[in-house]
């Protein structure tokens, strides 16, 4: 199912769920049961075969082979049905650590008639959630964990936290909570089953792979609508507990403080990598401190207006903020955009001070160290880039005083400046590049990005020029245009670019399928690698003991033809013409994990299914790039 079809089905199901909620849930349940029926039906057939063989009493080599296949198939199905859910991460809080928090949680749980909690976990995330962990897979017996982030407690008031916790319990209250938990588990089962079916296609699960490729998109669409509908139900549950004003304020405050982290704190934090060689030692503590700072009113209004223009997405079951507020009783929020109706003065006590007066020992220090370790690699890479960029820019500046820079040198200068100081700083240099090369994709993209950032609609034409030359720029380029148009209430125009994004990912999916299969009917060409690149590949191939011969061909692809795709066909050593101990499989695994390929390369053994390709590859000029025991031959190959 392509993305457009998925979106259309979701939109249709949302209308059906709204008008016929009970019938819709029945359909979801029956669709989930269908998957189980197929799996347990297959197990029943396997069991019947085993019983029939035992009852017949005739055992020979063929019967033993059949039993091995049937029992192996049954084992793989049963293994796929056993899903392991790791225990959620976080520091476990006890009642003595945070009595007010535990009392608040107990009060909300009673009001929502939610399930009891197994543990309350303090995390470093700007979020709160209740995670259900089934101890016995599909047989249930859930443990419920409340994960609540210290940053969220620092950012919001106790009233906000109460509303958010009520929303989380709303997901699990009543019968619909149990149904949702079961559906979530079923989704996990089918995801794992599909992965297993793909991995064991040759072991008899290929038929299941075909079934779940048809089944999974429909089940995903049906359950996606269910998950989004239950976000609204959880909001209604929170409104019943806290009132619509407090729930709306909690959502808006949470969104604005999150925006502050994304727009102010993190850019400033990462910007320090330009001058500091290492991340700060107390990054987590600095983030907590920043959450105490009030958001300037003009910035808060700007962010609130931007947030109200965001529409719901199809990769996230959470509805857009404006839709959630409208469902709570603020239908005109998109038109009015009155922030003052939702945000109170920031003189309220912070939830962590009130609910968690005594932090766990060393918690902040542990998070400081963890964040420093997680940022270290990207931080060092950025610091090194800025150093290289400064040196390169100084060199280009010096050369420009005595000679004309080439188009490539102008592009490198503009690229380094944009990477160091941002796209806006490089506008004039990007225009210099385009004066010599009007179709340059990188310069068009960066100039378009800079103009869009400044609110200049002229950036759209440059982004379109970049996307025409480089299709892989479509998702990010169209996202920028969509945000620009949506903020100006030009929704119909924005939809066209959303369709472009959908079309790109549909094409990308086809391209991946095309590159993950090799057929006799495909068109192949000689490799176009440079001699030194081939020489390096041969050197690596010579270190693989199982390899006998290797053929390299270029596969002609219809989808994204500019992205070259190569096929490496290999044969393994034989003993008296026989293959021993699945060495073809071992050979492909070795070649995939130990060899470095400069381009996308799909590796296949020229046996069994792919055996007809051996003759085709032999007829292609320069396709044979390696033959063991023929060093002179290998050296003379192009």
Instruction: Write out pLDDT tens, residues 68-100.
Output: 777 777 776 776 666 667 788 999 999 999 999
Average pLDDT over the chain reads 86
Whether the predicted pLDDT of 30 surpasses 60:
yes
pLDDT band for position 345 (cuts 50, 70, 90) = low
pLDDT band for position 411 (cuts 50, 70, 90) = very high
Report CA torsion sign: 76, 77, 78, 81. positive
More confident residue, 191 or 165: 165
List the single range of 40-49, 232-241, 544-553, 562-571 with lowest mean pLDDT: 40-49
Mean pLDDT of 363-378: 96
Whether the predicted pLDDT of 189 surpasses 80:
no
DSSP string, 6-73: HHHHHHHHHHHHHH-HHHHHHHHHHHHHHHHHHHHHHHHHHHHHHHHHHHHT---HHHHHHHHHHHHH
SS3 labels along 330-384: CCCHHHHCCHHHCCCCCCCCCHHHHHCCCCCCCHHHHHHHHHHHHHHHHHHHHHH
Helix, strand, coil in percent for the chain, rounding step 5: 65, 10, 25
Widest CA span in the chain: 94
Round to whole Å and give the CA distance between 135 and 11.
35
The structure's pTM equals: 0.78
Structure tokens at 265: 């704190």
Structure tokens at 63: 């019967």
Structure tokens at 153: 């407690």
What letter would DSSP give residue 90?
S
Task: Look at residue 369 in the predicted model and tell me its pLDDT.
Answer: 96
List the single range of 207-216, 311-320, 428-437, 585-594 with lowest mean pLDDT: 207-216
Q: 88 CB contacts (<8 Å, ≥6 apart)?
A: 121, 131, 133, 145, 147
Structure tokens at 585: 């499989």
Whether the predicted pLDDT of 519 surpasses 50:
yes
pLDDT band for position 201 (cuts 50, 70, 90) = low
What's phi and psi for 626, nearest 5 deg?
Answer: -155, 140
- What are 447-488's pLDDT values in tens digits? 999 999 999 999 999 999 999 999 999 999 999 999 899 888
What letter would DSSP give residue 624?
E
Mean pLDDT of 624-635: 72
Task: Look at residue 136 in the predicted model and tell me its pLDDT.
Answer: 66
Round to whole Å and give the CA distance between 528 and 562.
13
Round to whole Å and give the CA distance between 302 and 322.
15
Strand partners, 542: none
Q: 394 CB contacts (<8 Å, ≥6 apart)?
A: none
Percent of the chain with pLDDT over 70: 88
Round to whole Å and give the CA distance between 21 and 28.
11
List the single range of 50-54, 120-124, 188-192, 424-428 with lowest mean pLDDT: 188-192
Task: Look at residue 633 in the predicted model and tell me its pLDDT.
Answer: 47
Query: CA angle at residue 479 from 477 to 480, to 5 degrees?
Result: 70
List the single range of 63-67, 240-244, 446-450 with lowest mean pLDDT: 63-67
Q: 30 CB contacts (<8 Å, ≥6 apart)?
A: none
The number of C-alpha atoms within 13 Å of 53 and in the hemisphere containing its C-beta is 17
Whether the predicted pLDDT of 62 surpasses 80:
no
Burial 532-550 (b: 16+ CB within 10 A, else e): eebeebbeebeebebbbbb
- Contact by Cβ (8 Å): 625, 538: yes
Hey, how many other C-beta atoms are within 10 angstroms of the C-beta on 60?
A: 8
Task: Look at residue 194 in the predicted model and tell me its pLDDT.
Answer: 61
More confident residue, 467 or 115: 467
More confident residue, 58 or 278: 278
- Nearest alpha carbon to residue 34 among 189, 264, 160: 189
């Amino acid at each position: 199912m392509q993305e457009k079809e998925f979106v259309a089905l979701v939109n249709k199901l949302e209308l059906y769920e709204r008008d016929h909620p009970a019938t819709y849930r029945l359909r979801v349940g029956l669709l989930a049961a269908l998957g189980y029926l197929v799996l347990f039906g297959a197990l029943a057939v396997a069991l019947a075969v085993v019983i029939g063989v035992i009852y017949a009493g005739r055992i020979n080599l063929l019967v033993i082979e059949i039993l091995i296949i049937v029992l192996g198939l049954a084992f793989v199905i049963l293994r796929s049905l056993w899903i392991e859910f790791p225990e959620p991460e976080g520091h476990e809080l006890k009642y003595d650590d945070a009595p007010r928090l535990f009392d608040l949680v107990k009060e909300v749980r009673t009001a929502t008639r939610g399930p009891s909690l197994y543990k309350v976990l303090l995390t470093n995330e700007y979020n709160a959630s209740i995670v259900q962990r089934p101890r016995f897979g599909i047989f249930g017996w859930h443990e419920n964990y409340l994960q609540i982030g210290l940053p969220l407690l620092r950012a919001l008031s106790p009233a906000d936290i109460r509303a958010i916790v009520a929303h989380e319990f709303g997901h699990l209250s009543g019968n619909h909570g149990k149904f949702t938990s079961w559906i979530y588990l079923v989704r996990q089962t089918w995801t794992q089953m599909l992965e297993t079916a793909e991995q064991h296609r040759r072991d008899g699960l290929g038929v299941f792979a075909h079934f779940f490729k048809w089944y999974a998109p429909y089940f995903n669409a049906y359950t996606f609508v269910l998950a989004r509908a239950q976000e609204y139900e959880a909001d209604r549950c929170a409104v019943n507990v806290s009132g619509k004003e407090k729930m709306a304020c909690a959502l808006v405050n949470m969104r604005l403080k999150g925006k502050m982290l994304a727009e102010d704190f993190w850019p400033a934090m990462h910007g320090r990598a330009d001058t500091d060689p290492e991340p700060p030692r107390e990054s987590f503590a600095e983030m907590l401190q920043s959450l105490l700072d009030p958001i300037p009113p003009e910035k808060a209004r700007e962010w609130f207006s931007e947030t109200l223009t965001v529409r719901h997405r199809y990769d996230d079951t959470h509805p857009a903020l404006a839709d959630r507020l409208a469902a709570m009783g603020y239908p005109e929020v998109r038109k009015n955009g009155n922030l003052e109706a939702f945000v109170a003065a920031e003189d309220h006590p912070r939830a962590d001070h009130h609910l968690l007066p005594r932090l766990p020992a060393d918690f902040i220090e542990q998070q400081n160290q963890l964040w420093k370790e997680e940022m270290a690699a990207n931080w060092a890479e950025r610091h090194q880039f800025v150093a290289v960029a400064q040196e390169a820019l100084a060199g280009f500046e010096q050369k420009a005083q005595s000679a004309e820079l080439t188009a490539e040198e102008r592009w490198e200068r503009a690229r380094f400046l944009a990477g160091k100081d941002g796209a806006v700083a490089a506008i004039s240099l990007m225009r210099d590049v385009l004066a010599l090369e009007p179709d340059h994709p990188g310069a068009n993209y960066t100039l378009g990005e800079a103009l869009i950032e400044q609110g200049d609609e002229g950036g759209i034409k440059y982004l379109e020029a970049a996307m025409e030359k480089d299709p892989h720029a479509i998702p990010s380029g169209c996202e920028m245009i969509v945000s620009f148009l949506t903020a100006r209430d030009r929704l119909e125009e924005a939809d066209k670019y959303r369709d472009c994004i959908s079309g790109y990912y549909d094409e990308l999916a086809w391209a991946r399928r095309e590159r993950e299969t090799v057929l006799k009917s495909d068109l192949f060409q000689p490799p176009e690698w440079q001699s030194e690149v081939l020489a390096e590949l041969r050197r690596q191939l010579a270190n693989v003991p199982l390899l006998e011969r290797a053929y390299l061909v270029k596969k002609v692809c219809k989808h994204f033809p500019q992205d070259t795709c190569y096929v490496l066909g290999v044969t393994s050593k034989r003993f008296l013409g026989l293959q021993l101990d699945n060495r073809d499989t071992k050979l492909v695994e070795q070649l995939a994990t130990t060899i470095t390929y400069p381009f996308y390369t799909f590796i296949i053994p020229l046996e069994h299914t792919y055996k007809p390709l051996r003759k085709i590859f032999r007829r292609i000029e320069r396709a044979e790039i390696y033959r063991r025991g023929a060093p002179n031959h290998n050296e003379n190959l192009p």
